[in-house]
């Protein structure tokens, strides 16, 4: 398909400002859409919206179908009559510049529990009818997800493989009994998902009114301790007791010299093929119901993927295995039509992924921070080497901010020496023809003026923030996914400058 020349901003919902400890799909989200429009940006790229499990990572969720109830707007709940302002009196004072999940999540869960208990009394007949329609339409995942979350609570948060075996192995009588025993709690989980869906579609409608499309994100893998694996064990490489036989990861790379051990279960691709990729197609369709463009994270894994023995402590001992390739994408496009996709094709399988992308004319990703690691041309990341059919980023959620990258750790070599860093910094300044005093704006301008049909800029780079605003450091757990911004940081001058650069580069849409 043809992509217009356009631009957008990368910012996850959790990073929005607000007084309730975490970014929400409420007033500040609507305000941010206004700012996007003022900057001439036509795309808002977010991270996965799922309910994150251990480590608060949006790429490691309780369900790839369910949305994160922590993002439901309290202000919208008050406006709709589900919540009283006085219900919030007991909330703590939360950090403004980061999401402290240990403090915020329990408080929000308590408030949402109150709301879901009140729903039958407070909701209009129209909303009650809408809930029934939502539950029927989404029953293929919602029934298992809601039961999973309730059983997990009943087992004090233990992973499903450590539950009572009759629940872990989904014995029919045990499942029927649990659905009856926990009926009220299951219904509350369904109501929370409905409330999210209802609020989200109002936000998306407003975005469209402002000329902004939303770019969603679909991780290739799912969490082992998820309703997805628990309810579909036959689709994953597990032994007869439900334990992972192998696990996901990637070989040594820019981010980690021992590779990354992701620890997700590997798919039984033959089983998916026999089913007509039904589970995958439903998953993709569910996301397209919520966003306009889908970024496929680790697209390379569909071409070939890194399979690691379950006993390995690092990813170094893995092996490459051929992925489903054309079979799954032929199915997607036959069943769903030619919907827009951005392919995250970074990593060692780029060559194989390029063949797969090329067949379907899918745009890959170019990262400016990767462009200056060698004296040699031809690494593919310098803008004058780009094809038009690509999406350029100054950096992604896995990169440092541009200021952090330039001043702290520029370069892609894990074992880079101080001299190599100095040389790379010099190459950056020479290529840009700048003194580096506004390196973030230099890189933004470079991205916008490139041949790539789409440019995506992390908000941190527009704000001119350093490493403290980094979203994620791959291969680590602590301190990630917590950054939030203050609307006051996004000044009128920044907005006007971004709009001017966007207009000059022909990306107003």
Q: How confident is the model at residue 351 (pLDDT cuts 50, 70, 90)?
A: confident
Query: For residues 54 and 312, which has the higher predicted lDDT (pLDDT)?
Result: 312
Per-residue pLDDT of 46-60, as tens digits, reads: 999 999 977 789 999
Residue 415, pLDDT score: 53
Query: For residues 488 and 187, which has the higher predicted lDDT (pLDDT)?
Result: 187
CATH of 6-504, one of 3.40.50.2000, 3.20.20.80, 1.10.357.10, 2.170.120.12: 3.20.20.80
Per-residue pLDDT of 112-169, as tens digits, reads: 999 999 999 999 999 999 999 999 999 999 999 999 999 999 999 999 999 999 999 9
162 three-class SS: helix
Round to whole Å and give the CA distance between 244 and 279. Answer: 19
Average pLDDT, integer, range 215-235: 97
Instruction: Name the residue with tokens 């869960």.
Output: 109
Q: Is the pLDDT of residue 426 over 60?
A: yes
* Percent of the chain surpassing pLDDT 90: 85
Q: How confident is the model at residue 277 (pLDDT cuts 50, 70, 90)?
A: very high
Nearest to 229 by CA among 293, 181, 303, 160: 160
Residue 55, pLDDT score: 75
467 three-class SS: helix
Residue 257, pLDDT score: 80
Residue 409, pLDDT score: 60
- Lowest mean pLDDT: which of 40-54, 332-346, 408-422? 408-422
Query: For residues 301 and 409, which has the higher predicted lDDT (pLDDT)?
Result: 301
The pair of structure tokens assigned to 26 is 């409420």
Residue 412, pLDDT score: 46
Q: Which of 1-10, 54-63, 279-288 has the highest mean pLDDT?
A: 279-288
348 three-class SS: coil
Give me the sheet containing 319-322, strands edge to edge: 260-265, 246-250, 304-309, 319-322
Q: Is the pLDDT of residue 347 over 90?
A: no
Residue 477, pLDDT score: 83
Query: For residues 250 and 464, which has the higher predicted lDDT (pLDDT)?
Result: 464
The domain segmentation of the chain, as residue ranges, is 6-504
With left for phi above 0 and alpha for psi between -120 and 50, is residue 323 left, alpha or beta?
Answer: beta
Round to whole Å and give the CA distance between 130 and 225. Answer: 30
9 close to 45: Cβ distance less than 8 angstroms: yes
Per-residue pLDDT of 358-414, as tens digits, reads: 999 999 999 999 999 764 455 788 999 999 999 999 999 999 999 999 997 644 445
The pair of structure tokens assigned to 442 is 């230099």
Residues noted as catalytic: 297, 344, 398
Nearest to 214 by CA among 227, 201, 199, 229: 201
Q: What is the rounded average pLDDT for all residues in the chain?
A: 94
Round to whole Å and give the CA distance between 230 and 158. Answer: 13
Q: How confident is the model at residue 255 (pLDDT cuts 50, 70, 90)?
A: low
């Amino acid at each position: 398909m043809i992509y217009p020349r356009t631009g957008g901003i990368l910012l996850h919902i959790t990073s929005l400002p607000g007084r309730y400890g975490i970014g929400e799909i409420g007033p500040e989200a609507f305000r941010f859409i206004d700012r996007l429009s003022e900057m001439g940006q036509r795309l808002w790229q977010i991270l996965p919206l799922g309910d994150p499990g251990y480590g608060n990572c949006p790429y490691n969720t309780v369900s790839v179908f369910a949305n994160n109830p922590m993002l439901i707007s309290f202000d919208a709940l008050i406006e709709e009559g589900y919540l009283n302002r006085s219900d919030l009196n007991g909330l703590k004072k939360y950090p403004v510049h980061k999401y402290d999940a240990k403090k915020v999540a329990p408080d929000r869960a308590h408030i949402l529990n109150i709301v879901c208990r009140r729903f039958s009394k407070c909701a209009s007949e129209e909303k009650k009818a809408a809930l029934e329609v939502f539950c029927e339409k989404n029953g293929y995942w919602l029934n298992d997800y809601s039961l999973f979350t309730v059983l997990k609570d009943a087992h004090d948060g233990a992973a499903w493989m450590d539950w009572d075996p009759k629940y872990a192995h989904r014995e029919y009588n045990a499942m029927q009994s649990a659905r009856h025993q926990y009926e009220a709690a299951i219904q509350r989980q369904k109501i929370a998902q409905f409330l999210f869906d209802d609020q989200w579609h109002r936000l998306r409608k407003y975005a469209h009114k402002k000329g902004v499309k939303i770019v969603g994100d679909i991780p290739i893998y799912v969490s082992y301790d998820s309703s997805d694996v628990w309810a579909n064990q036959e689709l994953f490489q597990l032994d007869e007791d439900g334990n992972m036989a192998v696990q996901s990861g990637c070989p040594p790379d820019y981010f980690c010299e021992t590779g990354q051990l992701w620890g997700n279960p590997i798919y039984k691709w033959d089983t998916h093929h026999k089913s007509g990729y039904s589970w995958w197609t439903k998953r993709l369709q569910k996301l397209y119901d919520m966003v306009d463009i889908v970024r496929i994270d680790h697209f390379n894994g569909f071409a070939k993927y890194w399979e690691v023995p379950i006993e390995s402590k690092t990813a170094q001992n893995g092996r490459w295995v051929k992925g489903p390739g054309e079979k799954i994408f032929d199915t997607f496009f036959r069943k769903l039509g030619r919907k827009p996709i951005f392919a995250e094709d970074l990593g060692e399988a780029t060559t194989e992924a390029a063949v797969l992308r090329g067949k379907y004319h899918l745009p890959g990703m170019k990262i400016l921070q990767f462009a200056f690691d060698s004296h040699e041309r031809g690494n593919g990341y310098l803008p004058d080497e780009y094809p038009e059919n690509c999406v350029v980023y100054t950096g992604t959620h896995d990169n440092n901010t541009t200021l952090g990258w330039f001043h702290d750790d520029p370069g892609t070599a894990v074992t880079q020496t101080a001299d190599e860093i100095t040389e790379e910094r010099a190459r950056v300044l020479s290529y840009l023809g700048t003194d580096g005093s506004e390196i973030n704006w230099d890189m933004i301008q470079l991205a916008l003026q490139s041949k790539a049909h789409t440019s995506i800029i992390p908000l941190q780079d527009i704000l001119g923030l350093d490493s403290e605003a980094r979203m994620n450091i791959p291969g680590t757990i602590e301190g990630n996914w917590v950054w939030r911004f203050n609307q006051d940081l996004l000044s009128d001058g920044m907005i006007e400058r971004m709009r001017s650069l966007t207009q000059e580069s022909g990306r107003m849409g």
